[in-house]
């Protein structure tokens, strides 16, 4: 297929009328959409007639609380004044940060008596299976204290292993902030 002067004029006319590259390709026949786009760029055709649907702003849908980014709190939304990206004027008072209640934090270094230290061969259903040390070292052992019923760890190691998700998120935010 070659671009004759007649086909180029037809392309220019259809382009300025606002037809899409696919529509122009179908109108010209024996030419692909990509060929039309390439020719338009080589000719330097940039101005296009605006269709009425593209010039009108799209109506916005109201967000439901289940959609991401939607406000879930019952409070009033902040009022935006002027360009919302530049200035936000809140109408409500900021809530005070919730005070973290002091909890008995587990000690970082638990000393396991030598008599309680367990090897892989001495572990039972009722002993804590928390590994202590490097498995390659001679001193490697398991906690060996009495485990909680139905769990593999003692009280202390359960607190370390099974942290509520909300506590972990709070601690992560505190470490980042």
Nearest to 130 by CA among 108, 148, 159, 152: 152
Q: Name residues whose C-beta falls within 8 Å of residue 158's C-beta, 6 or more positions apart in sequence.
A: 148, 151
142-153: b (≥16 Cβ within 10 Å) or e: bbbbebeeeebb
What's the whole-number average pLDDT of the chain? 75
Q: For residues 106 and 120, give the distance between their C-alpha atoms in angstroms, rounded to a whole number.
A: 25
Q: How far apart are CA 125 and CA 114, in angstroms?
A: 20
Question: pLDDT category, 61, cuts 50, 70, 90?
Answer: confident
Tokens of 10: 């037809």
Are 147 and 126 a contacting pair, CB within 8 Å? yes
Q: Give 11-23 pLDDT, tens digit per residue.
A: 999 988 889 999 9
pLDDT at 120 over 80: yes
Lowest mean pLDDT among 4-8, 17-21, 84-88, 92-96: 84-88
Q: What is the pLDDT of residue 38?
A: 92
What's the pLDDT at 106? 47
In degrees, rounded to 5, the angle at the alpha carbon of residue 137 between the alpha carbons of residues 135 and 142 is 50
pLDDT band at 150 (very low <50, low <70, confident <90, very high): confident
**Residue closest to 24 by CA, chosen among 41, 11, 39:** 11
Encode pLDDT of 20-56 as tens digits: 999 999 999 889 999 999 999 999 887 665 555 555 6
Distance of alpha carbon 109 from the chain centroid:
36
Whether the Cβ atoms of residue 17 and residue 49 lie closer than 8 Å to each other: yes
* Range from 59-63, 75-79, 168-172 carrying the lowest mean pLDDT: 75-79
pTM of the model as a whole: 0.33
Percent pLDDT > 90 in the chain is 17
Mean pLDDT, residues 72-87 taken together: 55
């Amino acid at each position: 297929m070659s671009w004759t002067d007649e086909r180029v004029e037809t392309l220019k006319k259809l382009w300025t009328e606002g037809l899409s590259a696919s529509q122009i390709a179908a109108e010209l026949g024996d030419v692909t959409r990509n060929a039309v786009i390439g020719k338009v760029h080589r000719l330097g055709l940039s101005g296009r007639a605006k269709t009425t649907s593209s010039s009108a702003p799209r109506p916005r849908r109201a967000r439901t609380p289940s959609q991401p980014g939607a406000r879930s709190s019952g409070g009033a939304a902040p009022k935006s004044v002027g360009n919302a990206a530049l200035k936000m004027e809140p109408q409500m008072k900021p809530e005070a940060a919730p005070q973290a209640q002091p909890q008995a934090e587990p000690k970082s270094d638990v000393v396991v008596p030598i008599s309680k230290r367990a090897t892989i061969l001495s572990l039972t259903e009722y002993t804590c299976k928390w590994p202590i040390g490097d498995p390659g070292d001679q001193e490697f052992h398991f906690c060996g204290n009495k485990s909680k019923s139905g769990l593999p760890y003692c009280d202390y190691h359960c607190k370390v292993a099974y942290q509520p998700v909300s506590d972990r998120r709070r601690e992560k935010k505190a470490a980042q902030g």
